[in-house]
Amino acid sequence: MINLLIFGPPGSGKGTQSEKLINKYGFIHISTGDIFRKAFRTKTKLGIEARGYIEKGELVPDHVVIGMMSEELEKHTTSKGFIFDGFPRTTIQAEALDRILDKNNNEITLMISLEVEEKELITRLVKRAEISGRCDDQNISVIKNRLDVYKKTTQALIDYYKEANKYIAVEGTGSIDEIYSRIDKIVNKLF
Ligand code: B4P
């Protein structure tokens, strides 16, 4: 079973590239951001709790995210493999994910980290704000806070997976298809 982490700062193309990977390889796509946005729309307790953090560009607390992920993974016990997109975002989440996967004799195969300059990330998110209706894309100060949270908290996970020999960086600028082709070459070799 292949379990990938698609990693990178907000706007690096995690969601975009995950979609292309699931189409080719049939992975189950687990995007914490998508789960939260669905929970907003259906106004569940989780959605109401998460929204307050997301609209400020802060991380949802670890215990909320980890509880939600454990439930999500239990729904897919027969999966061929997962793509984790936007999870983990803290070391506590990474350790919890290792424990959850280990219970089923499983592990993360590889973290694919998309590298994109900050100026380009801001341009992409401001552009997406025009069409997405996402509360966290609408305001430049919230976008900048998300990038700061990434640098202060989430980026440290690169070292976590480097130490486990599970890290690979991919140049995340260029056309969507060019980036996908870089990623696909890496994923193909895992089978
Ligand atoms: P996410 O939904 O993960 O939002 P994101 O980091 O902005 O990434 P997203 O997947 O949307 O964007 P992508 O990089 O694909 O999280 C939202 C919020 O939820 C977080 O800020 C946090 O509050 C909360 N949250 C989620 N997970 C959490 C966790 N584990 N713990 C705590 N809180 C959590 O970029 C896409 C944009 O770039 C698109 O507009 C796309 O069209 C464009 N793009 C992609 N590739 C491009 C290319 N090659 N060229 C030009 N544009 C490109």
What residues contact 103, with CB distance under 8 A and at least 6 apart?
Answer: none
The pLDDT tens digits for 108-143 are 999 999 999 999 999 999 999 999 889 999 999 999
Nearest atom, ligand 1, residue 10 CA: 6
Cβ of 15 less than 6 Å from ligand 1: yes
Residue pLDDT, tens place only, 20-58:
999 999 999 999 999 999 998 999 999 999 999 999 999
What's the predicted TM-score (pTM) here?
Answer: 0.96
Question: What's the whole-number average pLDDT of the chain?
Answer: 95
Q: Give the number of the atom of ligand 1 that is nearest the alpha carbon of residue 127.
A: 40
**Is any atom of ligand 1 closer than 6 Å to the C-beta of 16?**
yes
With a cut of 90, say whether residue 10 has pLDDT above it: yes
- The Cα 173–Cα 12 span in angstroms is 8
Torsion angle of C-alpha atoms 56, 54, 22, 28, degrees rounded to 10 = 150
